[in-house]
A = this chain, B = another copy of it.
Amino acid sequence: MVKTYEITLHTHGFCDIHDITDTVREKLRESGLKEGMCLVFIPGATAAVTTTEYEPGNVQDYKEFMERLIPSDKPYHHNATWHDGNGFSHLRASLQKASLCVPFKDARLILGTWQNIVVIDFDNRARTRKVVIQFQGE
A interface vs B, CB < 8 Å?
1-2, 4, 35-37, 39, 41-45, 50-53, 55-58, 60-62, 64-65, 69-70, 76-82, 87, 90-91, 93-103, 105, 110-112, 114-116, 132, 134, 136-138
Contacts and interface: CB of A to CB of B under 8 A. Distances in A.
Contact of A1 (B60, B81, B138): B138
Contact of A65 (B1, B4, B91, B102): B91
A3 to B, nearest CB: 9
Contacts of A102: 41, 98-99
Contact of A87 (B61, B87, B137): B61
A136 B39 CA distance: 12
B41 A55 contact: no
Those 4 A-B pairs whose CB atoms lie nearest each other, nearest first: A57-B77, A44-B112, A57-B81, A57-B78
A112 B36 CA distance: 26
A36 B110 contact: no
B43 A110 contact: yes
Nearest to A51: B98
Contacts of A61: 76-78, 87, 90-91
